[in-house]
Structure 1
């Protein structure tokens, strides 16, 4: 049976700013892929939106407690038109394949210190 899976997340821009200030490159490289960083630079609002996008996708995939998924296995990048696009790799791609999940669509927004993301996909389980 085909089902619709969704995930939504809200992230505070100040939390991303604080994490970058406290952990710098270590935080950035553990959370964001090189392509994500190239797409958004150091813009904390856009980084927060990508973070929310990753979390929304993970909520859609619903990993079990014993199924750790590195945040870099979910990339929210820009397509040629500038729209956000989800690329899955590693453990995230394995989870998506296991549930028969089709391409994941994501919508991002940020305003007044908050970033929100919603992810949607069709799944066979």
Structure 2
């Protein structure tokens, strides 16, 4: 790497979190604890995007498994110690074009600000009974004179 590349500028710090979630586990949780599970972990927007509150557990499970994996991956990026976000503090939002992003509130937003994490990128998918999510966050760190 060219040493002049970082001189006087900043250093880009990348944080990456990945998680995998069984769709069957989410489906089982929906069948056993539907209202409590949905209300504690997912926002109304997330449930709507996954199929809606009236959808069957089989219909909801893949979408909610992707979103749960995204929440876990985000926690790996945020690295909480004392201040731990609630599940609903991390929301997977679907944009009009179909791609997804993250909206952080509460303790999740506080952790991101305290660590100067500026941008979050999210990718989610599912296949063969498993959902996967990867979150990448960036932070510009100041570099002093060497």
TM-score range, shorter chain: over 0.9
**Of the candidates 31, 35, 40, which is equivalent to residue 25 of structure 1?**
35
- The TM-score with structure 1 as length reference comes to 0.94
Alignment correspondent of 1:114: 130
SS state of the match for residue 104, structure 1? strand
**Of the candidates 86, 108, 120, which is equivalent to residue 104 of structure 1?**
120
Alignment correspondent of 1:67: 83
Match runs of 1:33-48 below 5 Å = 33-41=43-51, 42=55, 43-48=60-65
Task: Check whether the contact 1:99–1:124 (CA below 8 A) recurs between aligned residues.
Answer: no
- The TM-score with structure 2 as length reference comes to 0.81
Alignment correspondent of 2:101: 85
**Of the candidates 50, 59, 71, which is equivalent to residue 54 of structure 1?**
71
Higher-Rg structure is: 2
Deviation string, structure 1 residues 77-120 (Cα, Å, up to 9, x no partner): 10110101100000000000001101211000100100000000
What is the RMSD of the two structures over their aligned residues, measured on CA atoms? 1.2
Measured in 2, the distance between the counterparts of 1:124 and 1:97 equals: 12
SS state of the match for residue 119, structure 2? coil
Structure 2 gaps, min length 5: 1-10, 142-146
